[in-house]
Amino acid sequence: MKLKAIFRDPVTFLRIMQSMAKLSNRCILRCSPEEIHVVIPRGTGPVEAFAVLDNINFFFREYKVESNYNNQVNIEIVSEHLCQALKQITPASQVTFKLAKQNNQPILNVEIITRSKSGQELTVLHDVLIAIKKPRDMEIIRTPEKAVGEQGRYYKVITSFPDLAEVRVVAERMRSVESTHDRIMILANLVGEVKIAVQSDTTKVETHWTGMQTNAGQDNTDVTLAQRQKFRQVNLDARSFVRLLGCTLIDYVPELWIAPKRFATFVIHVRKPGPANESYIAHLQVTLNAMQEAYDE
């Protein structure tokens, strides 16, 4: 079993890992020759999440993975430990990670070659403890494609979503409203409107966005205007929602997929760095389960 990667862009990878670390303490790196998936499996909390490095050549100068399991290597890791190991990088750093062993314990060896303020070359080594996931363990962990396939029939609205940092400011203020039971309501319709709201016994506060782009692929041929204007709703745990909004990515395009009363999936397309660059290099797919409670019709 072998895994070695020399980074071309370690900074964007770190930002993706930091965003995933906000959602869960642990994750799985599913490494294959074509892609790397960072996975937070369902069943470990209210979140199921995937970060997919779609363009391996953008992230790595050299990338090699070999195993007896279809050349796939699966690593369980404490997300924050890997983020801490990468924290010293700069855009000019040369960063390598590779699978290794220390005292018969599997580790991810992270080597960072950088320069001090005086220009002296420095080499920093980190050994991050990991666990190797066996093939039978991975059989019960969904891929992002399988997750969408199994959940697809429940989605009623697919729409673009406002900037996450903007929504986070609004959501954090809403959480200060007393007696909301840390619940936040997400609503969207097929005419490009998105709302987030909180409600207590005495107060309701909501923020409304218009001009969102709905998915042109949705079958709306026989849908009346009144049906298109109807808001579909999902109530989420506010703490999990705010953690998602703490995403550290810089250039991205977010989408909201609502399965009313069941879950909401946020798909965050990561753009290649550069002015007005429209090509995507990765995407995050984060599903938050609905809170189990009664809904207003």
pLDDT tens for 120-154 read 888 999 999 999 999 899 999 999 999 999 999 99
Domains defined along the chain, listed by start: 2-141 (3.70.10.10), 151-289 (3.10.150.10)
pLDDT tens for 204-230 read 899 999 999 997 445 556 778 999 999
pLDDT confidence of residue 292: 75
pLDDT confidence of residue 230: 94
Structure tokens at 41: 């499996």
Euclidean distance between CA atoms 72 and 3, whole angstroms? 9
CA nearest to 192, candidates 156, 152, 157, 241: 157
pLDDT confidence of residue 258: 97
The three-state secondary structure class of 62 is: strand
Residue 5 forms beta bridges with which residues? 63, 97
pLDDT confidence of residue 203: 85
**Alpha helical stretches, state H, the chain:** 10-21, 56-59, 79-86, 135-138, 144-151, 164-174, 225-229, 238-245
Euclidean distance between CA atoms 72 and 137, whole angstroms? 13
DSSP state of 226: H
Spell out a b/e string for 232-261, using b for 16 or more CB atoms within 10 Å of the CB, else e: bbbbbbbebbbbbbebebeebbbbbbbbbb
pLDDT confidence of residue 89: 87
pLDDT confidence of residue 22: 95
What is the full per-residue pLDDT of the chain (297 aa) written as tens digits? 999 999 999 999 999 999 999 999 999 999 999 999 999 999 877 899 999 999 999 999 999 999 999 999 999 999 999 999 998 887 778 999 999 999 999 999 999 998 878 888 889 999 999 999 998 999 999 999 999 999 999 999 999 999 999 999 999 999 888 666 789 999 999 999 999 999 888 888 999 999 999 974 455 567 789 999 999 999 999 999 999 999 989 899 999 999 999 999 999 999 988 776 678 999 999 999 998 765 555
